Structure 1
Amino acid sequence: MNTLATSTSTADSAAPFEARLVRFPAQVTQTGGVRVGYREAGQSHALCGEALPLVLLHGIGSGAASWIQQLDTLGGTRRVLAWDAPGYGDSTPVAAASPVAADYAARLAGWLDTLGIARCVLVGHSLGAIMAGAFAVANPQRLAGLLLISPAGGYGASSEALRAQKRDTRLAMLAELGPAGLAAERSANMLSPHAADAARAWVRWNMARVLPHGYAQATHLLANADLAADLATFRGKVGVAAGADDTITPPAACERLAAAAHAPFEIVPGAGHAGYIEAPAAYSALIDAFCRAAEEQRSF
């Protein structure tokens, strides 16, 4: 009885977010047998030639739909695209069973080619920051700016024993619980104690829809990646931000990544790991300011 009541409450709380998704329907590009699912806002701005396109990359337990509030707000002034990473949603998984960041970066480059996006501002959240960092290193000319929100650093520089332990623990949890169980057990960790019920419901909604194979590949990516090493070699515009109440990628860890990139670091008060969901106004303003700064820099 309690389980049913909880499920009903979650569905009711997520309903307003689901209703907003109708305005940004799921789309798919397909090139050479590779599919990439995504959602888009502000496509009419693509021809204006002023505002840079904004591309949003989600984390390991999420998807394109999680960015609905940014699509809604930021799509009013620029073209905004949120992808489903390889192995998520309708997106074709990468080929490797134990992929590296470059595998995802190559897929991202191909998708942007298909959409005709030569240059953009790229935002990566959590594991999405690892993908974004690898893309930046491989394609610096295509980025006007790289903004990392609560970035996951990866365990690539750690001992093999630690990498295996982190990887295998997460894979075991996936096998035991499945996506719905993961959402029930882990979604609360994504938010601060101040988060509204609707934000909690939306995190659970997105996490419950991850695909096991894609999540498993992403777990290997996390074990293999070293974002700090990528950031140390990138010379473009970078910004890093984290929620003050983030317990998954704590501010101190995010600040170290900012230092590796010689980038400014910003703490968002009262926000947890998925801050862009629970504090959308603050994060949308942060992203918008970063985009505008990148555009001003481009004009000189």
Structure 2
Amino acid sequence: MTNASTIELPSLPQSEVDRLDARFPARSVQVRGGVVSVRECGAGPALVCLHGIGSGAASWLDMALLLESDARLIAWDAPGYGASTPLTPDAPKAADYAERLLGLLDAMEIESCVLVGHSLGALTAASAARPGSPLAARIRRLVLISPAAGYGTRPEASQRVRTERLDTLDKLGVAGMAARRSGRLVSENASELARQWVRWNMARLNDRGYRQAVELLCGADLLADLPPAMPVRVACGELDVVTTPAACEEVARKCGVALELLPRAGHASYVERPSVVAPLLREALAA
């Protein structure tokens, strides 16, 4: 068995760390129940971005810089990620994450936004955007990118995924898990820098936040919250092997829209090919 303590934390070129700190710095926003760590860049209509299970707010850096003249891009570290306070339940629901998101929008006085959910972030986004949600009136448009559907309706798969992910965490630690799993998040076309970013983000996960996110993934049912109460676009990297185009097609069908394929991109499309994802978000902002 690999000793987690012997695995070095993946690093980024110092120039990238400096660029992140200078252009997309983190700050903590006080909300009910604790704080939410956010990164913010640009001016214009609010574009609120929710990352996936193995990532964090920093992953939206290149997207924020590409869109800084079009939008005020706000990326959160989900509860239990970065400096964000974890949720109270050990097995939180999508609605619990959506409630924390509501607290963040209240604290930042955001009355209208385009909401983007990537992978696991789509579960929170869909819960926030469902008909009857207290957040729905504030969301002008919803964008789901490579949405995770959750395993809540598939008990055997849910137990398998929970066991596999938590066993990997227990045996390898966060750094070892990043080394093992991060490669699946990008396609063979990805640059070495994009691979470094994906590994670096994953290696900075917090144990409790990740365990709670695994419970969300295993207990949630994305389709139950769809279609949303506002216009929606659903996109997926054409080379995504995590939430495949076939799986995302089912989400798009439930929303009554066509799936939009992002060429030559894997699961972490906005990290791997931000220039391909940026036009989609510009259109969502302008619509």
Matched residues in 2 for 1:211 and 1:162: separation?
24
Matched residues in 1 for 2:140 and 2:274: separation?
23
Percent same amino acid at aligned positions? Answer: 47
Choose which of 192, 196, 203 in structure 1 pairs with 2:198.
203
The CA deviation at 1:33 is: 4.7
Q: Match for residue 105 of structure 1?
A: 98
Matched letter for residue 222 of structure 1? L
Q: Match for residue 193 of structure 1?
A: 188
Choose which of 207, 212, 217 in structure 1 pairs with 2:212.
217
Choose which of 140, 144, 147 in structure 2 pairs with 1:144.
140
Q: Match for residue 74 of structure 1?
A: 67
Matched letter for residue 112 of structure 1? L
Matched residues in 2 for 1:222 and 1:33: separation?
22
Give the TM-score normalised by structure 1.
Answer: 0.89
Choose which of 138, 149, 152 in structure 2 pairs with 1:156.
152
| Residues 8, 175 of structure 2: 8 Å contact kept | no
| Residues 88, 211 of structure 1: 8 Å contact kept | yes
| Residues 238, 264 of structure 1: 8 Å contact kept | no
Matched position secondary structure for 1:96: coil
| Residues 255, 265 of structure 1: 8 Å contact kept | yes
1:286 and 2:280 aligned: yes
Choose which of 232, 242, 252 in structure 1 pairs with 2:246.
252
Give the TM-score normalised by structure 2.
Answer: 0.93
Matched letter for residue 11 of structure 2? A
Q: Match for residue 3 of structure 2?
A: none
Task: For residues 210-261 of structure 1, give each alpha carbon's deviation from its aligned partner in whole angstroms, at most 9, with x where no partner exists.
Answer: 00110000000001111111013x2311100000110000011001101111
Matched residues in 1 for 2:161 and 2:269: separation?
24
Structure 2, gaps ≥5 residues long: 1-6
Matched residues in 1 for 2:214 and 2:160: separation?
11
Moved more, 24-33 or 254-263: 24-33
User: Which one has the bigger helix percentage?
Assistant: 1
| Residues 129, 229 of structure 2: 8 Å contact kept | no
4+ long deviations beyond 2 Å: 14-17
| Residues 190, 272 of structure 1: 8 Å contact kept | yes
Q: Match for residue 20 of structure 1?
A: 19
Matched residues in 2 for 1:36 and 1:230: separation?
24
- Between the two proteins, the alignment pairs up a number of residues equal to 277
Choose which of 167, 172, 175 in structure 1 pairs with 2:167.
172
The CA deviation at 1:128 is: 0.4
Q: Match for residue 65 of structure 1?
A: 58
Moved more, 79-88 or 25-34: 25-34
Q: Match for residue 40 of structure 1?
A: 40
The CA deviation at 1:84 is: 0.1
Root-mean-square deviation (CA, aligned residues, Å) is 1.5
Matched residues in 2 for 1:65 and 1:255: separation?
28
1:53 and 2:49 aligned: no
Task: For residues 18-61 of structure 1, give each alpha carbon's deviation from its aligned partner in whole angstroms, at most 9, with x where no partner exists.
Answer: 2211222110011345110010012xx3xxxxx42000000000
